[in-house]
Structure 1
Amino acid sequence: MYNRRSFLGAIGRSACAAFALPTLQPQRFTRALEAFAADVRTPEEIAQDESLWFEVQQAFTVDRSLVNLNNGGVSPAPAIVQAAMKRHLDYSNNAPVYTMWQILEPEREGVRQRLARAFGSEAGEIALTRNASESLQTCQFGFDLQPGDEVLTTTQDYPRMITTFQQRERRERIKLKQFSLPVPCEDNDEIVARFEKNITFKTRLILMSHMINITGQILPVKQVVQMARAKGIPVIVDGAHAFAHFDFSLADLECDYYATSLHKWLFAPHGTGMLFVRQEKIKGLWPMMAAPEKMDSDIRKFEEIGTHPAANYLAIAEALTFHQGIGAKRKEARLIYLRDRWAMRLAQLERIHLHTSLQPGFACGLATVQLKDADPFELTHYLWDKHRIIVTPIKHPEFEGIRVTPSVYTTLEEIDRFADAMEEVSKSGLPKT
């Protein structure tokens, strides 16, 4: 079984051997991370210990000439994950029909078991996919719906998922119904009430985000699922930005369908995702790509996509070990600490407005900030052109701003560079083009 001590030793060996970092001293590196693993302080205390997080930062091979604050889009993987993927890919290419299909492919089952254990489900309820979009569309297309049936979601859900239902509207004449949520919202009962208020006798399916991708708002999944289940309505949960971002398990959600990407907050190889479907629900959900009838009750029917690499999926194991070595609660606390460092500073400025709650339980490391009277796309270009800082522009009919998503490899200097730049443009305005 993996534990923090074996994980930390592996990082020290793999990162150094695979990438030959000249300034890294393997023994010092391993000792520091072993101290991190044995630390008995609270997550909030550890979140502020820069000597420990410095060692975590060195596990990544990122370009420090720029500041990447769009880790919510897709994250870099630690060196140990990159090395594992390369090792599996090299082996695959020895003789793919044998080495990839017969040797490596069966090892996916170990990854499946570990993901299930981390999520709190059974291994037979976890499908390995390419991203959250594939996982979600499997669910969105997998339910039989009739003309006139309604599907319900908010106006703030991910555009691709809204587009998916809009296609079913055009093709099958179902009806997509959307409603807005307060930005931000610090009242879970209000959120549940808005979902319930918009349910009609025609509602057949609900899609909800665990964490809204454009604000970082954490929604009360368990309460919505319980309310909808009492009415016989299944709920698909979009967990693209939640899994491995903050600490939770399936027991905290009680949902039957959960989809996520693993290349965001788990730091797994790009193009990896996960779909959970509760065992008794698998048979009733059609796969997006055809599978034989004998697989009707098998979670692997959702993986029938044709030839695919083994390397990406097997290296998920190293990403999971890295995540567990840090600890979910510690990681969550660190991401909140980084967010609060810039957000609380900028919130004091007159032209700054936060669209993300800073209250416990309503958000984590992802936050959206607006500079009043500044176009978010122009602000994004300015931050890159002038300061080499990467953020995400958000322009929604209900609000706008820039999304900021640091990660565990982000330094305090990088956070402060962003805050300095925002403070400067808040006082002087964007330069005229």
Structure 2
Amino acid sequence: MDIIASDSPSLEGLTSMLEGYDCPAILVSVDYQILAINQYYREEFGEVLLQAKPRCFEVSHGYNVPCDVAGEDCPLAATLDSGRKERVLHIHQTPRGKEHVDVEMVPIHDSQGKLLFFVELLRAVAIASAETGSKTLVGSSKPFNLMLEKVTRVSQSDASVLLLGESGSGKELVAHAIHQGSDRAKNSLVTLECAGLTDSLFESELFGHVKGAYTGAYSNRTGLVELANGGTLFLDEIGDVPLSMQVKLLRLIETGSFRPVGSSSAKHTSFRLICATHKNLAQMVKDGVFRQDLYYRINVFPIYVPSLRERRDDLALLISTLLKRISPRKEYHLTDSAFHVLKQYDFPGNIRELSNILNRATILTDTNVIERSTIEECLIIDQELNQQIAAQPTECVNVNDTKREWVDLKTAEYLYLSDLLSFYNHDKVKVAEVAGISLRSLYRKLQ
């Protein structure tokens, strides 16, 4: 709501008004001059020498022209155009370096409607970093900032979020950031990877099961929806949920009730839902492989997560951040020519692929300087491996001592696991333990 001031408000009165806000706040004139700051601003961003008549864009960005003239969105200019409160995500210069700040500009009018001042409210975005750091999300490019602005807004609500974007672009990190910025952050974020799950395994993972529900269910198991109670449930690759299970998922979302496998008693849960996919769900609805009602339930607030190709301006920052995460003790650097090679690369695997490349580079280099030749060697590793696999005849294994035919590796693995199942009377928990794999992997390999 816009503020209506008296016809001749005193500067002292307006300055006192700033102390009523629970966040950093400044009073700005219509010509960008900072007239007053509150105590929260001093604590967060430092003192401002008001006698020098500083302007907001000089203090916040180090510019000598307004933000919109410098090529950025300007909340003051936006408020002048609309005549009402506006909100913009900015990268501000702070005593700690560059930081993402959510800026809200509130106009102050007199009783006749004349614009007198602006109150600028600044809230630091703790889930992201504009410089190399340990925050969940890192970036400063325009596509990244557009995404982050939506993340910041939706985090404060309980709306269901659908994250769209290519594999490896960081959708899971965005889900974690939304959870961390929400009121549910003190509770758990529970993740279910939906890809490759059969109907029965999906239902058991999501809803849990009771003892004796099926062979191998030797005890009760709490489902993920129950573990997510009070927190956030993240369904990754929602497009891979079996069609037969989509109606049960829909009922869960609509009512908050579910029934563990093998149980006759319903349970209730309350969670914030975040889904992610790299697939075109709208087209899947048209093709009849994804329920339309479920699509509209999960697509309350869609956020597009840009690919690495779309945010090349963040490449240097991402490389620096990833290298620090890969090697916290030893500091690595790329030569200019090595960086140029990466800048020309398309990264079909996005940030996940970039992380793999840098991991290889730190292993292959003999110093802390990563040369162009090292990066080029890292880039061709996958190409050579794929060519070798394509050219190599299918490997074979003799499954057991019987005169079974030689088969390819996948079939051999399947038959091996089948033999184990027969030997252990279809005790899947025991078979997974003997085979050295997870129960989920066992189900997937037996498909």
TM (normalized to structure 1)? 0.27
Which structure shows the bigger proportion of residues in helix conformation?
1
* Greater RCO (Cα-Cα under 8 Å, separation 6 or more): 1
Which structure shows the bigger proportion of residues in strand conformation?
2
In our comparison, the structure showing a higher alpha carbon Rg is: 2
